[in-house]
């Protein structure tokens, strides 16, 4: 895990200033790689690269970057890990190519593979997470690459003839060509979906490279972008070649695949551990780690005093059963609130998934003990774990028989009651229903179900499930952009599978993986996600939906794997999620901070947000009539980010275009 940056095309930059500029670009993301820094530049070709290293594999200078291939044709900076690099190295050694290995880093293996087999073939052979900038000296061509599922970030943009790129926007902002023009259309997406999805960013001239894609660029030409892996092809292949064994065979196969993935991802030359919430996903990963380790695995959990948000006791019970070296941290609302001022800097652009707070806190604690932590993310997307999947097909088929005007009117009626009313109803129902998990937190669930009723079709149904601000004019003078949610046409066999596929290409990379990467890298912690081994994902799409969702319960096959290692009574409980009581905090300890950011005169003077819509929701939330916590958090995170942005511009902390130093 590291950070990379650079630029291609010097334009009017004096040669003597190239090194200071690229050094500043690296320094801006030193948290991603505090162990060492390296620069490479070719003035004749007008290319400069910088790398910030977090040493994980081969801690010696033999693993330093930028790294040159054996023939000196390729220069590369690389962020991430190739977990099967030893297997690739064995294949290379068995070939006719003679390689003088300098060390045992995956960077060196990756370079040798590219030189031997070519970039596209090498990427298809790699198992891992990565963002790559590769310079081909022979063809004078720059390649940017992002891993299949988007675990590692990569930004790029053409700024007046200078092509800049980097792991985070911080690097690009210190380049003298950076302008910082806001993209109102992208901000509109953040209001809807918590974050800004690829290929967009909060700035007009900057994009994110989409997962599974390669960008190719020659001087004086437009970038050429193509995919080397796509979920659509995986789905088609899975349906063409479905798994044909029994349920037991499928469980055995998944156990084998996950064990292999965990084993590869446990390889490191630094201390390693795992996040443990006590849920199905993280418990499965930790169980497989402990089963393959000859010493107690270090595990980490975070707890809250609020019962509805605390999973620490469950995690502790799982840890005790597995015999891990468990660490937990209970945090007060003050501990969590102290993080909020840092969020706009950590995430670089407006990002409003409130679980960013506990994610940062658990990363911070984990870094005190280890340098690498495995995570259980992606189990929901692969194996049908989100509540919105359960019964969707049957329910949608029934309600779709009703005229749209009837459904829409009913939805408005449901939304007219205040949250306390629905919570009281839920509590009453739970008294008489044995499996009462579905009837908790009705104030959150009813608006979602109301959105289902008002949906016009299947795609509209999914977008309603994952949309916060549906009002088109929440961002003034903005328009809708095409995204994976509006342009994907997955050939799935059910509504549930369509939702799972859309989650995999949108919610997973643009929210979950972004959240984890930025929070962990802010404290120089590498995170690894075994379930995102593409072999596991491809196997998941060979399975019938009945092996994922059964009897109204998700992740059936994953539960069967976990049952081999952890007793059911330690796991069977309502799905809780990884959140904080934002709604209560906005009415309490966060109220003053919120009101300062939501001042009517302030919003009107900024001229970006629809003040009338925001004030209405803020008043309704304060009164308890409605719970608008997620909508308001979207606005507050944007306002907090905008405040930081305006302060940077006012103080001149953008790169001074008339100087070669950050001022």
Domain annotation for the chain: domains and CATH numbers: 2-229 (3.60.20.10), 240-385+398-457+511-580 (3.40.50.620), 591-663 (no CATH)
β-pairing, 162-166 with 2-8?
antiparallel
Task: Please write the tens of the pLDDT for every residue from 359-412.
Answer: 999 999 999 999 999 999 999 999 999 988 887 777 777 777 777 777 778 777
Q: Taking residues 265-290, what's their average pLDDT? A: 96
Going by pLDDT thresholds of 50, 70 and 90, the confidence category of residue 491 is confident
Task: Please write the tens of the pLDDT for every residue from 409-461.
Answer: 877 766 666 656 655 665 555 555 555 544 455 555 666 667 667 777 777 78
Other residues' Cβ atoms within 10 Å of the Cβ of residue 522 = 20
Which position has the higher pLDDT, 455 or 551? 551
What is the C-alpha to C-alpha distance for residues 485 and 473, in angstroms, rounded to an integer?
19
What is the C-alpha to C-alpha distance for residues 503 and 197, in angstroms, rounded to an integer?
12
What is the C-alpha to C-alpha distance for residues 272 and 375, in angstroms, rounded to an integer?
11
Q: Which pLDDT value is given to residue 406?
A: 76
* Burial bucket for residue 606 (CB in 10 Å: 0-12, 13-18, 19+): middle
Q: Taking residues 490-496, what's their average pLDDT? A: 88
Contact, 418 vs 624, CB < 8 A? yes
Length of the chain: 663
β-pairing, 213-218 with 141-146?
antiparallel
What is the C-alpha to C-alpha distance for residues 120 and 132, in angstroms, rounded to an integer?
13
Going by pLDDT thresholds of 50, 70 and 90, the confidence category of residue 578 is low
Going by pLDDT thresholds of 50, 70 and 90, the confidence category of residue 660 is very low
What is the C-alpha to C-alpha distance for residues 633 and 583, in angstroms, rounded to an integer?
9
Whether 331 has a pLDDT exceeding 60, the answer reads: yes
Going by pLDDT thresholds of 50, 70 and 90, the confidence category of residue 563 is very high
Q: pTM of the full predicted structure?
A: 0.91
The region of weakest confidence among 305-314, 319-328, 473-482 is 305-314
Three-class DSSP category at 129 = strand
Query: Residue 611 — φ and ψ, nearest 5°?
Result: -60, -40
| Helix boundaries (H) for 214-246 | 231-240
Q: Which pLDDT value is given to residue 61?
A: 85
Q: Which pLDDT value is given to residue 374?
A: 98
Going by pLDDT thresholds of 50, 70 and 90, the confidence category of residue 335 is confident
Q: Which pLDDT value is given to residue 396?
A: 74
> Which residues on adjacent β-strands are paired with residue 78?
132
Token digits for 225? 């972008």
- Going by C-alpha positions, the residue among 508, 448, 628 that lies closest to residue 197 is 508
Range among 115-119, 458-462, 571-575 rated most confident:
115-119
Average pLDDT value for the chain: 90
**Cα-to-chain-centroid distance, residue 516:** 6
Q: Which pLDDT value is given to residue 431?
A: 52
Contact, 215 vs 165, CB < 8 A? no
Going by pLDDT thresholds of 50, 70 and 90, the confidence category of residue 656 is very low
What is the C-alpha to C-alpha distance for residues 261 and 82, in angstroms, rounded to an integer?
12
Token digits for 645? 């942005």
In the chain, pLDDT over 90 holds for what percent of residues? 72
Going by pLDDT thresholds of 50, 70 and 90, the confidence category of residue 57 is confident
Q: Which pLDDT value is given to residue 453?
A: 75
Which position has the higher pLDDT, 485 or 428? 485
Three-class DSSP category at 543 = coil
Q: Which pLDDT value is given to residue 97?
A: 82
Which position has the higher pLDDT, 102 or 651? 102
Other residues' Cβ atoms within 10 Å of the Cβ of residue 506 = 22
The region of weakest confidence among 105-114, 623-632, 650-659 is 650-659
Whether 232 has a pLDDT exceeding 80, the answer reads: yes
Is 662 assigned a catalytic role? Answer: no
Going by pLDDT thresholds of 50, 70 and 90, the confidence category of residue 645 is very high
Q: Taking residues 109-120, what's their average pLDDT? A: 96
Helix (H) or strand (E) holding 609: none
Out of 2, 126, 194, 514, the active site residue is: 2
Residue 417: C-alpha distances to residues 410, 413, 466, 613, 627 (Å): 12, 8, 21, 19, 11
Contacts of 23 by beta carbon, 8 Å cutoff, 6+ apart:
37, 39, 50
Whether 269 has a pLDDT exceeding 70, the answer reads: yes
Secondary structure letter of residue 522 according to DSSP: T
Whether 576 has a pLDDT exceeding 70, the answer reads: no
Whether 313 has a pLDDT exceeding 90, the answer reads: no
Q: Which pLDDT value is given to residue 423?
A: 58
Q: Which pLDDT value is given to residue 462?
A: 85
Going by pLDDT thresholds of 50, 70 and 90, the confidence category of residue 657 is very low
DSSP per position, 311-379: -HHHHHHHHHHHT-EEEEEEE-HHHHHHHHHHHHHHHSS----TTHHHHHHHHHHHHTT-SEEE--TTH
Query: Residue 129 — φ and ψ, nearest 5°?
Result: -125, 135
Range among 300-309, 380-389, 490-499, 534-543 rated most confident:
534-543
Contacts of 596 by beta carbon, 8 Å cutoff, 6+ apart:
none
């Amino acid at each position: 895990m590291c950070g990379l940056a650079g630029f291609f095309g010097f334009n009017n930059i004096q040669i003597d200033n190239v090194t200071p500029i690229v050094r500043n670009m690296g320094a801006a993301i030193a948290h991603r790689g505090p162990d060492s820094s390296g620069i490479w530049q070719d003035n004749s070709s007008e290319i400069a690269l910088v790398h910030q290293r977090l040493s994980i594999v081969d801690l010696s200078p033999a693993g330093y970057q930028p790294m040159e291939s054996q023939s000196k044709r390729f220069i590369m900076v690389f962020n991430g890990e190739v977990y099967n690099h030893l297997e690739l190295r064995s294949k290379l050694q068995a070939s006719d190519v003679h390689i003088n290995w300098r060390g045992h880093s995956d960077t060196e293996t990756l370079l040798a593979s590219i030189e031997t087999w070519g970039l596209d073939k090498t990427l298809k052979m790699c198992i891992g997470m990565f963002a790559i900038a590769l310079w081909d000296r022979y063809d004078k061509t720059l390649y940017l690459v992002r891993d299949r599922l988007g675990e590692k970030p990569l930004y790029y943009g053409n700024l007046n003839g200078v092509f800049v790129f980097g792991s985070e926007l911080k690097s690009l902002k210190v380049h003298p060509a950076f302008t910082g023009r806001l993209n109102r259309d992208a901000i509109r997406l953040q209001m809807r979906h918590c974050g800004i999805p690829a290929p967009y960013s909060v700035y007009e001239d900057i994009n994110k490279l989409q997962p599974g894609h390669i960008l190719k660029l020659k001087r004086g030409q437009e970038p050429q972008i193509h995919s080397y892996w796509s979920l659509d092809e995986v789905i088609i292949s899975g349906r063409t070649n479905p798994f044909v064994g029994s349920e037991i065979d499928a469980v055995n196969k998944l156990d084998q695949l996950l064990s292999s993935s965990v084993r590869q991802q446990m390889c490191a030359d630094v201390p390693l551990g795992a996040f443990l919430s006590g849920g199905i996903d993280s418990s499965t990963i930790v169980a497989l780690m402990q089963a393959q380790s000859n010493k107690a695995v270090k595990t980490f959990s975070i707890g809250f005093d609020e019962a509805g948000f605390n999973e620490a006791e469950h995690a502790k019970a799982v840890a005790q059963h597995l015999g891990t070296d468990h660490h937990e941290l209970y945090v007060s609302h003050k501990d969590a609130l102290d993080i909020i001022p840092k969020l706009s800097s950590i995430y670089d652009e407006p990002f409003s998934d409130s679980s960013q707070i506990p994610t940062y806190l658990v990363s911070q604690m984990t870094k005190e003990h280890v340098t690498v932590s495995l995570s259980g993310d992606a189990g929901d997307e692969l194996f049908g774990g989100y509540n919105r999947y359960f019964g969707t097909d049957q329910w949608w088929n029934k309600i779709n028989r009703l005229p749209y005007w009837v459904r829409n009117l009913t939805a408005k009626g449901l939304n007219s009651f205040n949250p306390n009313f629905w919570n009281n109803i839920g509590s009453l129902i739970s008294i008489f229903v044995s499996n009462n998990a579905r009837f908790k937190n009705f104030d959150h669930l009813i608006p979602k179900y109301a959105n289902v009723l008002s949906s016009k079709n299947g795609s509209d149904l999914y977008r309603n499930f994952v949309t916060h601000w549906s009002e088109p004019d929440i961002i003034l003078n903005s328009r809708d952009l095409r995204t994976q949610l509006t342009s994907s046409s997955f050939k799935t066999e059910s509504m549930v599978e369509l939702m799972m596929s859309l989650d995999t290409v949108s919610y997973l990379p643009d929210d979950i993986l972004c959240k984890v990467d930025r929070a962990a890298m802010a404290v120089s912690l590498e995170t690894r996600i075994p379930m995102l081994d593409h072999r596991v994902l491809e196997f998941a799409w060979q399975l019938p939906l009945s092996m994922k969702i059964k009897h109204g319960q998700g992740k059936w096959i994953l539960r069967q794997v976990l049952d081999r290692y952890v007793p059911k009574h330690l796991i069977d409980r309502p799905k809780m999620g990884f959140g904080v009581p934002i709604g209560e905090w906005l009415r309490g300890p966060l109220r003053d901070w919120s009101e300062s950011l939501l001042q009517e005169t302030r919003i009107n003077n900024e001229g970006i947000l629809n003040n009338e819509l925001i004030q209405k929701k803020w008043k309704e939330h304060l009164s308890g009539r409605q719970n608008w916590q997620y909508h308001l958090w979207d606005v507050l995170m944007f306002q907090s980010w905008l405040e930081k942005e305006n302060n940077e511009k006012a103080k001149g902390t953008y790169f001074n275009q008339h100087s070669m130093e950050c001022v």
